[in-house]
Structures are given as C-alpha cells and as structure tokens.
Amino acid sequence: MLEHIPAWLGSLLRNVRAGHSKLAIVERSQGLANAIDLSSPAFANGARLPARFTADGEGISPPLTWSQVPAGAVSLALIVEDPDAPMPHPLVHALSWDLPANMNSLPEGALQPSLDRPAAYHIGRNSYLTSGWLPPDPPSGHGTHDYVFQLFALSEPLGLEEGAGRADFLEALSGRVMAAGMHVGTYSREEPSTTFSGAESAAIPQT
C-alpha cells in the first residue's frame, strides 16, 4: 500500500520515521549477555533485499538461518519490523512464535500463511492486519528503509493465539527472553536491485 503514496508526499515525509529505538529487540533485550547469530543466505546484513521478497517482486518471505541459541531455551520467536516507516511505531512485516528451540533455519516462504506450514509454530498479524509476510513496499521519495529481522530465544513458549499482533507479542516476551539476534535488509525505490552470493550476520552486542 505504501508504494501508492506519491513521490512528492514521500519526500515531504522523508524525516518522519518511527525510529530504531522502538524496535522490539531494543525494548525487550536490554542487558542480555547472550546473542543469537542470525543471517540469511539471500542477502548480507545491511544489504539490499532482493526484489523477489518485496512488493515489487513475488512478495515471499526470505530464508533465514541462525546459531548460538543458548542451552535451556524452550522456544523461539521472530518479528520483522520497519523502523523507517512514517508511523508512530515500527511497521510489522511478520510475526512468528513457538518455533522449536532446536530449529536453526526457516526456508524461503516459511512466513506465508499456508496449509503446508508445520503446526509447530504460529504466524501472527502484520501491521496491515493480515496473517503472514507483508512484503516491503516503501514510499517512493522516502529514502532507504531498514527491514529488521529479530529472533528471540525464550525460556518458555509465548502461548499466544494464532493471529496475535505486535502489542500482545511484546507483552508476552517480557521476562522470557534469554538471547536475541538481528539481521537487517534494506530496500527503497531509488536504487537498482543487486544479487548476493554469500551471507553476513549481525547480533545484538554483548554487554
């Protein structure tokens, strides 16, 4: 939907952004000593998302891989947010929880609502009030947006109902986060798409 904002309005809103300080990983991972190594085989940390994962392409969710989940973790939870959206809070592009702690990857398309998806984990409601992956579609003229993939290792399952949203997700995280990591992709409608043959990862700095 945001791709339909005219470029002149996007330019006027260029400095109106939710802010990285409002990301879930900032709000729920302060003081953690453990970090998850989260990455993607499709794009390097800080690199441009391939168009196939956006509203300009097939709009499917990208693959993810991770390691260094701490011993004792019971489940994993994932949120993908755009802190550069011209909104009061980051725009949610995906929510998932109750992933088994022994999982170490999600394949391409795993965040789509699908009858073939394993019942082991749940898919939540994005900011457009639909279930599954919301393809990035930043406004023309608004500049580059970050899409921040954030994975949490939890001491117990969140136990949310299918289709829960960001507020319930953040509340349920409180007191359960053992470790967290993030991986950032970027996208805009002002630069050419690129290809990627390797992967880099990023995690929250240890304290």
Instruction: Give one word for 72, left, alpha or beta, with left for phi > 0 and alpha for psi -120 to 50.
Output: left
| Among the listed residues 203, 207, 148, 200, the one whose alpha carbon sits nearest the alpha carbon of residue 181 | 203
Cα dist. 33→124, 130, 155, 191 in Å?
A: 28, 34, 15, 37
CATH fold for domain 2-107+122-203: Phosphatidylethanolamine-binding Protein (3.90.280)
pTM above 0.85, yes or no: no
Residue 56: is it exposed, middle or buried by C-beta count within 10 angstroms (0-12/13-18/19+)? middle
- Cα-based distances in Å from 74 to 99, 152, 156, 187: 9, 11, 5, 33
Tens of pLDDT along the chain (207 residues) come to 455 544 433 343 345 466 888 899 988 876 676 799 999 999 999 999 999 999 999 999 999 999 999 999 999 999 999 999 888 899 999 999 999 999 999 999 999 876 565 557 889 999 999 999 999 999 888 889 999 999 999 999 998 987 899 999 999 999 999 999 999 999 998 654 444 444 444 444 333
pLDDT for res 118: 56
Measured on CA atoms in the order 75, 81, 83, 86, is the torsion positive or negative? negative
CA distance 171 to 185: 26
Q: Give the per-residue pLDDT at 2.
A: 53
Identify the pLDDT of residue 198: 46
Beta strands in the chain (DSSP E): 37-39, 47-48, 64-67, 75-82, 91-100, 105-106, 122-123, 145-154, 177-187, 201-203
Q: Where in the chain are the domains?
A: 2-107+122-203
- Predicted pLDDT at 197: 47
What pLDDT does 43 receive? 98
Chain CA centroid to CA 3, Å: 19
